[in-house]
Amino acid sequence: MSVLSTLLKAEGHEVVPVLGAEKAQEVIKSQKFDLMISDIRMSPVDGMQLLRMIRKEKPDTAAIMITAYGSVETAVEAMKEGAFDYVTKPFKVDELLITVTRALEYRDAMAENVTLKAQLESKYQFENIIAESPAMRKVCEMIERVAPTDTTVLILGESGTGKELVAKALHAHSRRKTKCFLPINCAAMPEPLLESEMFGHMKGAFTGATANKEGLFETASGGTIFLDEIGAMPLSIQSKLLRVLQEKEVRRVGGNENIPVDVRVLAATNDRLEALIEEGTFREDLFYRLSVIPIEIKPLRERPEDILPLVYHTMRQEVGPNKDLPNIDPEAQLVLEQYPWPGNVRELENAIRHALTFAKDGKVTKDVLPAKIVSSVSSEGAVSVNTGGLKADAYRGKSLKAFLKSKEKEYLSQVLQYVEGDKEKAAKALKISLATLYRKLPEPNE
Ligand SMILES: Nc1ncnc2c1ncn2[C@@H]1O[C@H](COP(=O)(O)OP(=O)(O)OP(=O)(O)O)[C@@H](O)[C@H]1O
Ligand SMILES: [Mg+2]
């Protein structure tokens, strides 16, 4: 411990060394700390208890836990309990110091008011990310907070929600912005190729390895690596990645030299990693390492405020600056707002491109939208009602309750159609229980 405190002092930190968790608890109660570094195995009070106490009573204090070699479960446990990170004994000085720096950066970024004020003043910084909805604003706020740190970020979201866009924004607002941003799609390559792409290989390591080759981690040094579709990463590569994250070194395939790398890792997935962990195809310890900061992007159907701004944003991109944008007539607008966008923003962009191709006289009407979209938004429903009831006055004479019920039925059947009849998925999307969904479903003969 004295070695550690000497080291940290040499780095300019103020250090208060204490012996044992009981003493630590006393000291923590009486003073304010940015960071606690603690062994897990101690008696009579162990490090986990200390960690729980600090998370509860001093949530602003980050914690790094020291675990014995090979005790992965305890390490995972510590991350679950809110430790920022763990280091394994015996640890390398550099590794610990980097972890300390990251933990302190993270603490600063998470401390309230740090960036909020600046943010309020400087209106909107992420001009290429449309964020009208509160959910998307929160995403941008998170980007602003965590971009300057070196912390790993796990970006979660359905296909087409903007995961790569968020990853790029994180890079663009970091100190690494002048260095490269390297995306790797983990689902696109067979295992051996992915391994040698990521970590490089030595000449003769396998058939076809005719020369030494540096891996993307080396190439990206100083920059950011974006591991897309991380859920598809094979287990053997997951354990290698974990080592790279821990030790900040790579070893090429067939090589015996450790090469230091300075790379920030961002990862994205549209899989539920928890389910993959249960299945045994994703490492739990890697999950906790990657998801120190998770950023979840909600599907577009759950943030309808973003739809029209995205429509105009896409039109502007397609039409170019300083040109008049086409008008969207109210019927077409309603279709765009009501469609559930299973392919999210990517699908919306394609629909708008389609519409612009067929638009006549600078006007986007329902007829120029993709037929699939128009037909899935019911024609007897809100579309005609909302355009002033000019067409079918289908609901005249109905009580409000009956109207709402028929709208509900219509929406249920749209959602069910879109999830291909999977009731569990539908219930989840609708945020109701499965039992409620069944109750609401029409009887077969209804
Ligand atoms: N909030 C947004 N504002 C502006 N454009 C957006 C937004 N969200 C997504 N986009 C655009 O939508 C398209 C899809 O985004 P992106 O490729 O980042 O999605 P993704 O989540 O990585 O999708 P996939 O899972 O299919 O790889 C891109 O052209 C992106 O620029
Ligand atoms: Mg993507």
More confident residue, 147 or 106: 147
Which ligand does the CA of 133 lie closest to? 1
Supply the residue whose CA is at minimum distance from atom 18 of ligand 1. Answer: 162
**10-14: Cβ within 8 A, 24+ apart:** 11/97, 11/100, 13/100
pLDDT at 378 (0 to 100) = 61
pLDDT at 409 (0 to 100) = 81
Tell me: the pLDDT tens digits for 22-47?
999 999 988 889 999 999 888 888 89
Query: Residue for token digits 């890697």?
Result: 286
**Rounded to whole angstroms, how far apart are CA atoms 367 and 332?**
8
Question: How far, in Å, from the CA of 179 to the mean position of ligand 2?
Answer: 21
Cα–Cα distances (Å) from 388 to 232, 331, 363, in that order, read: 50, 11, 20
Which ligand does the CA of 157 lie closest to? 1
Three-state SS annotation for 93-131: HHHHHHHHHHHHHHHHHHCCCCCHHHHHHCCCCCCCCCC
Question: How far, in Å, from the CA of 228 to the mean position of ligand 2?
Answer: 6
Question: How far, in Å, from the CA of 137 to the mean position of ligand 2?
Answer: 20
Flag whether pLDDT at 99 surpasses 90: no
pLDDT class of 1 with cuts at 50, 70, 90:
low
Question: How far, in Å, from the CA of 204 to the mean position of ligand 1?
Answer: 40
**Rounded to whole angstroms, how far apart are CA atoms 206 and 218?**
20
End-to-end C-alpha distance for the chain, whole angstroms = 74
Mutate to test the pocket of ligand 1, among 161, 313, 318 (most ligand atoms within 8 A of CB): 161
In ligand 1, the atom with minimum distance to the C-alpha of 159 is 25
Question: Which segments within 9-117 are labelled E, that is strand?
Answer: 35-39, 62-67, 85-88
Which ligand does the CA of 170 lie closest to? 1
Q: Average pLDDT for residues 284-301, to the nearest whole number?
A: 93
Scanning 303-399, the segments in alpha helix (DSSP H) are 307-319, 330-338, 344-358, 371-376, 382-386
pLDDT at 410 (0 to 100) = 79
Tell me: the pLDDT tens digits for 306-335?
999 999 999 998 988 888 889 998 899 999
Query: Residue for token digits 């290989």?
Result: 201
* Contact between residue 278 and residue 231 where contact means Cβ atoms under 8 Å apart: no
Tell me: the pLDDT tens digits for 344-384?
999 999 999 999 999 988 899 999 999 999 998 865 444 33
In ligand 1, the atom with minimum distance to the C-alpha of 136 is 1
Q: What share of the chain is helix, strand, coil (3-state, %, to 5)?
A: 50, 15, 40
Question: Residue 333: how many CA atoms within 13 Å on its side-chain side?
Answer: 13
Which ligand does the CA of 163 lie closest to? 1
Tell me: the pLDDT tens digits for 221-274?
999 999 999 999 999 999 999 999 988 999 999 999 999 999 999 999 999 999
**Rounded to whole angstroms, how far apart are CA atoms 86 and 142?**
23
Domains in the chain, CATH or no CATH each: 2-110 (3.40.50.2300), 116-298 (3.40.50.300), 301-440 (1.10.8.60)
What are the pocket residues of ligand 1 if the criterion is a CB atom closer than 6 Å to any ligand atom? 129-131, 136, 157, 159-165, 270, 310, 313, 345-346, 349
pTM: predicted TM-score of the whole model, two decimal places: 0.69
Supply the residue whose CA is at minimum distance from atom 13 of ligand 1. Answer: 346
**Rounded to whole angstroms, how far apart are CA atoms 301 and 241?**
34
Share of the chain above pLDDT 90, in %: 51
pLDDT at 118 (0 to 100) = 41
Q: Average pLDDT for residues 387-414, to the nearest whole number?
A: 62
In ligand 1, the atom with minimum distance to the C-alpha of 161 is 21
Question: How far, in Å, from the CA of 64 to the mean position of ligand 1?
Answer: 35
Supply the residue whose CA is at minimum distance from atom 23 of ligand 1. Answer: 160
